[in-house]
Structure 1
Amino acid sequence: MRDGLAGLTLRGRAFLAAGVTAICCAVLLGQSTLTRIGVLVVALPLVSAFVIGRRRYALAVTRSVHPRLVAAGQPARIDLELTNAGRPSAGAILVEDQVPYALGTRPRFVLQGIARQWQRRVSYQVRSDVRGRFEIGPLTIRIADPFGLIELRRMVPGVAPLVVTPRTVVLPRIPVMGGWSGSGEHRPQAFAAGSAEDVSVREYRRGDELRRVHWRSSARVGDLMVRREEQPWEARATVLLDNRLRAHRGQGLGSSFEFAVVAAASLVLHLDQHGYAVRLVLADGSGADETSTAVLERLALVTTRQTAVIDVGWTGDQTRGGLVVAVLGGLEQRDSIALRQIRHDAGTALAMVLDVEQWAGRAAQGQPGPSPSVAGLGWRTVTLGPRDRLDSAWRDLGRASGRAAAAAGVASTRGGR
């Protein structure tokens, strides 16, 4: 009874107030008929509270999400397996699953004829245009009487995660050079002269282990030489995402940062599908070798950071001779040092530079072009605005790579002559 009275609705409270008022007026005026009416009005919510309060449900829910990882704009299916281990009841209950606002409206189901060991399976779809990680649940049960006087809400614990990854764009295949590297060594080059022993050693680099120093070659050359570690070659690529807050403009889904996240996700999928071992690196230097699925899940949660400059602590043997594709926001002159270091270690360096002033609502002065701080450091660049297509920009980078490869071939031919 106490639980039922705690669930009185506005209508139920109005009935109680009207009934008590009618009884008081009947006593003062000596109207016995009005007394009976007042008692009836008061009794109706009290009886409803007694009946609803006696209902006991032991509902349990098992929630599953298919798929657990979904791209923004794509639907996901939520399956609910409901079971009742409590007493049977002929009443109807309203079931509502709690979902975040970004996933749409809350689904509701009316369940009737709940018996002991009762089971029911229901499904619904959710969809989000916003990337992120969302918790679905818990389940809310609403029990009400036919007159709308009593309404009880009970929570069924249990949640399930749904990860919404960024949208991706299918990119065309382009000729990319310098993507092949070994795990710890760059691709060996042929020597014009020298013994086989010379081919198996290289110059010492900072960070090399001393046990790999080849003392005989070091004494002959006059500099420290270390033995190469012959390992299987694999295609390695690094996608650099500039997530500095100061480098982007705009708000929400229409910001330059969200455009950059979509570009990075598209690049990760494209390079992974073409045999590259891809890793994602942020402007603060954080990154790791992960699968493409793990990288997309990481991109679903990435945010801007108060980082001043691009950290280059991640460069080294893993990027030396390999492919680096950077998605950059607004650049400053002091970023040239980091970009020069990255270009020095990479075999091929491609950059998508966002004209962030267009996202701020300010049109660029003159014809847009590659940022001098990037193109002047040996990067192959393309500039994008909010209305530009990623696939077209990637194709333009491919043409630049092809011209660079042709120029390198002509130079090597002339050198051979």
Structure 2
Amino acid sequence: MTTRTMARRLRPTRRAWGLLVVGLMSVLIAYLIGRQMLLLVGLFLIGLPLLALALRAVFRPKIELERTVFPRTIAVGDRLRVVEELQNRAFISLEPVSYFDLTPGARRSAVGGVLPSIAGRWHPNANKRRRRIAFSLDSLLRGVHDVGPLYLDNVDALGLTRRVIEIGEPVTVQVWPRLHPLDELELPAIRSGGDVETGIALAGDSDDVLTREYRHGDPMRRIHWRATARSGELRVRQEEHHAEVSSIVILDTAPTPEAPARVEDATLFDIMDAAGDDSQAPIDHALEQAVSIAASLVAHLHARGYETELLHTHEWETEREGSASFRTAAEDPIEPVMHHFMSVQPADAASGAEPLLDEIQSRAARIGKAPVFVVHRAMDAEHTAQLSRLGAQATPGVLILVAEGPISLPLQPFLDEGWEVLLVHARARNPWASMTRYPGERTAAKRRASATTVRTASHTARGDLR
């Protein structure tokens, strides 16, 4: 695709200003001492940069760009490839130029280099009229980023004028959080069939479950016999499927204790003159690791057939303002929630927002018995301890602590409720390689005992139905 070309302001270089100053001084001295030759030299030195500016203003470069970016949607750590074809449509050649392509969200804010001269449109060799730029990026951060536009730093052959040419429109790239395999967590398999009644009974909702009238084609196992006896007509569970396959992932979006310093935007010439600076804006490693783990949990549970309920502990500015949850049905695609993960940020510390614990507990109570995963990174101990109460309905309950060092969070409330508690390092490329279990055997034993209880109750429920 050919894009528009926009020329930046043409300006003289330091060399041109130096020639102008020397020329003016030569003319002044020539009048003072009466030397005509010195006068001619002064006029030449003044006229040369002015002539260069005039010619460059008339003969503007006309460069067309065809950019290919693949793929447009990647995960953190994946490789992005960029290929750009440039063609000179002007009648005159373009001098050798340095270039830089803006790459916000990557380790470098720009990728640069030097292009040989690009011949004009009358040149018989088509290869001389074209140039190619190709590079790859594997350091893009989570979020939505632009690749481009491309800038050419164009200086004339005498070094008297300089112009920055902007070519092409930026291409948007979506970067999902990194997804990790979860074999180490021993996640539960999806429940099915007779386990439905087990999920409802264990949730304590067997008498209060919502029902509707029986419709032709409804399976007999969905009939709620107590509601049928009370109403005198067949009634079936309305939210049975929801209770059967639900799972809860709670992501800690509390304000970051020490927010990364804001980096001021650099000008075009600052970026161009940076000489390969590899610096980047500070990264909240705990947040990125927590989002990555939460996204991995949601993707894994969704692949196993679970309906996933993603809950945030704090409100933050999003398109879905006012909602602390993001639900993905088992039959829905996973892409919308991954787009949601791309924009997750911690709450603003200045806003003084309180955690949405009441809303979380209300949502969890409506779901009933389900796997519950809490990914903690910055929430204080008092509010975190309140989440341990979800352990009564968590089958299993897993608390994942993301930190860069030792933690001071009291874990006993979670251990008493039968949670499995894991600690992972915030900077680990593979979080499970750095995983520590607390206290390990006891928690795993309680989880296995809980799973045995569920299976036993399932068989009992199926026997009662028969």
3-state DSSP class of the match of 1:113? coil
**Percent identical residues:** 20
Distance 2:375 2:199 in 1: 34
Matching residue of 1:126: 137
Give the one of 144, 165, 176 matched to 2:155. 144
Q: CA deviation at 1:32?
A: 1.2
Matching residue of 1:390: 431
Distance 2:225 2:246 in 1: 33
Give the one of 358, 367, 381 matched to 2:421. 381
Asked if 2 retains the 8 angstrom alpha-carbon contact of 1:4 and 1:52, the reply is no
Distance 1:190 1:385 in 2: 34
Deviates more, 1:39-48 or 1:125-134: 125-134
Matching residue of 1:241: 251
TM-score normalised by structure 2 residue count: 0.67
Q: Alpha carbon RMSD of aligned pairs, Å?
A: 4.4
3-state DSSP class of the match of 1:391? helix
Distance 2:9 2:451 in 1: 85
3-state DSSP class of the match of 1:327? strand
Matching residue of 1:195: none
Matching residue of 1:196: none
Q: CA deviation at 1:233?
A: 9.6
Letter in structure 2 aligned against 1:267: L
Distance 1:69 1:4 in 2: 31
Give the one of 95, 108, 113 matched to 2:113. 108
Matching residue of 2:269: none
Distance 1:278 1:190 in 2: 16
Distance 2:166 2:105 in 1: 19
What residue ranges of structure 1 are gaps of 5+ in the alignment?
A: 192-200
Asked if 1 retains the 8 angstrom alpha-carbon contact of 2:211 and 2:237, the reply is no
Measured at CA, do residues 209 and 275 of structure 1 come closer, stay the same or move farther in structure 2, by a change above 3 Å?
closer
TM-score normalised by structure 1 residue count: 0.74
Deviates more, 1:215-224 or 1:156-165: 215-224
Give the one of 78, 95, 104 matched to 1:92. 95
Asked if 1 retains the 8 angstrom alpha-carbon contact of 2:141 and 2:175, the reply is yes
Matching residue of 1:404: 447
What residue ranges of structure 2 are gaps of 5+ in the alignment?
A: 1-6, 216-222, 261-281, 315-323, 461-466
3-state DSSP class of the match of 2:196? coil
Give the one of 30, 34, 47 matched to 1:30. 34
Matching residue of 2:288: 258
Distance 1:45 1:4 in 2: 19
Letter in structure 2 aligned against 1:91: L
State how 1:199-348 maps to structure 2 within 5 Å: 203-205=207-209, 208=210, 217-218=226-227, 220=229, 226-229=235-238, 235-245=245-255, 252-253=282-283, 255-272=285-302, 274=304, 276-284=306-314, 285-289=324-328, 291-306=333-348, 307-309=353-355, 310=357, 311-312=359-360, 313-315=362-364, 319-329=367-377, 330-340=379-389, 342-348=390-396
How many residues are treated as equivalent by the alignment? 388
Distance 1:209 1:221 in 2: 12
Distance 1:5 1:327 in 2: 51
Q: CA deviation at 1:335?
A: 4.5
Measured at CA, do residues 66 and 216 of structure 1 come closer, stay the same or move farther in structure 2, by a change above 3 Å?
closer
Matched, 1:163 2:181: no
Distance 2:54 2:199 in 1: 91
Q: CA deviation at 1:225?
A: 9.6
3-state DSSP class of the match of 2:382? coil
Letter in structure 1 aligned against 2:207: E
Distance 1:209 1:274 in 2: 27
Distance 2:284 2:8 in 1: 49
Matching residue of 1:176: 187
Letter in structure 1 aligned against 2:401: V
